[in-house]
Amino acid sequence: MKVMTSISAALIALALAGCGLSEQSGANAASVQLSEIPGSWSLDSAASKMAFASIKIDELIETHYFPGLSGEISESGETFITVPLAQVETKIDLRNERMQSMFFKTDTYPEAEIRASVDKAAFADLAIGDRLETELEGTLSLHGVVSPVYANVFVTRIANDRVEVATSEPVVVYVADYNLEAGLEALREVAGLTSITPAVPVTFSLVFDAAGA
């Protein structure tokens, strides 16, 4: 369940990098260079979401998500995204509790974190309304394991001081990479299922604002 996939933090940092704070004239006005953008960028938690799907009995697909994401891209491009595993939302209270206690073990691992270092200059020319597709890479810390993650994303500048980073295709996370097989098996048994697929597709939409905006 690398949903952290993640993926998330590195992606966002790149997106923010493309935003400028200078005055613009029209939707396609050119942005200032990154070197002219002061300060850090903060994740808009209310506007951002990370979702994942579980596949049961090889054909039953259910979607879930994490609210309450937080994160920042520093002025130097260092990026982190924190995923509150204890807030996992599956739309069923009992299933939420089982995911927390049996799968994520949130008493010990309450959060997952994504980190990345972004070259802001690569996004300096994005104008308002422009979208750029790119691959981002970073690391995901989940269940005591740190592993590299990669995601294909769209980076869209939606205002002078606001950028969205969203997956252009799902990021597939394998539970075995984070030693989560035992937790997945426990969920399967308690739910009385014949199978739960150990590969998890993850998507996200992350919105960042210039901290000084």
- Residue 131 sits in a domain whose CATH number is 2.40.128.110
CA-CA distance, 85 to 93, in Å (whole number)? 14
CA-CA distance, 57 to 209, in Å (whole number)? 41
What domain range is 194 assigned to? 3-210
- Whether 158 and 165 have beta carbons less than 8 Å apart is answered as no
For the chain, percent of residues with pLDDT exceeding 70:
81
In total, how many domains does the chain have? 1
Question: For residue range 15-37, what is the model confidence (pLDDT) as tens digits?
Answer: 344 433 333 334 444 455 444 66
CA-CA distance, 135 to 172, in Å (whole number)? 14
Residue 141 backbone zone (phi > 0: left; psi -120 to 50: alpha; other: beta): beta
- Whether 17 and 77 have beta carbons less than 8 Å apart is answered as yes
Question: For residue range 144-196, what is the model confidence (pLDDT) as tens digits?
Answer: 999 999 989 998 988 888 889 999 999 999 999 999 999 999 999 999 999 99
- Whether 73 and 16 have beta carbons less than 8 Å apart is answered as yes
